[in-house]
Amino acid sequence: MKERRQYERFTIPLPVRLETIKLGRKKVLDLETRDISASGTFITTLTSFPEGTRFILDFTIPSDSIKGLKDVKSLKGCTGSMVRSTPHGMAIQFDRECQIESLKAL
C-alpha cells in the first residue's frame, strides 16, 4: 500500500491535555500521543468522541524528545478536529495555523 501521508510521522509518547470545544459541558482529559506529525497526531484513549469533534491540545515536550522540534510555543493551545477513531484512540488533524512548522522541515 502506498504511503499517503504528506509529513513524516514521529512515534513518540508526549503528554497532552485535551479539551473539547463545544457549547455545554467541557471535557478535559490528560492523555498521551502515540505519534505526531506536522499536521496532526494520534492520541491513545478508550474515550470515544463523534467524528468532527473540536479540541484544544496542550502538549508537554520533554527537552530531549524531538531534536528537530524548535517551535515548542506552537504546541500550547493548538486546535484541531477528530478525523478518525479506532478502538485504541483517535486521529486529530491540526488546524492550519497550528501545524508544527519545524516538523515539516525534517
Domain that holds residue 60: 15-104
Tens digits of residue pLDDT in 36-92: 888 899 999 999 899 999 999 998 876 655 555 554 445 778 899 999 999 999 999
- The C-alpha atoms of residue 59 and residue 72 are separated, in whole angstroms, by 9
Residue 1 lies in a domain: no
Strands 28-36 and 40-44, how do they pair?
A: antiparallel
The pTM of this model reads 0.79
What are the distances in angstroms from CA 18 to CA 5, 13, 106? Answer: 24, 14, 26
* Three-state DSSP class for residue 19: strand
The answer to the question of residue 6 being in a domain is no
Residue tagged 502506498 (cell numbers): 2
Query: For residue 4, is it within any domain?
Result: no
More confident of the two residues 13 and 90:
90
Domain total of the chain: 1
Structure confidence at residue 9 as a pLDDT band (50, 70, 90): confident
State the pLDDT confidence band at 3, using cuts at 50, 70 and 90.
Answer: low
Domain of 36, CATH number, reads 2.40.10.220
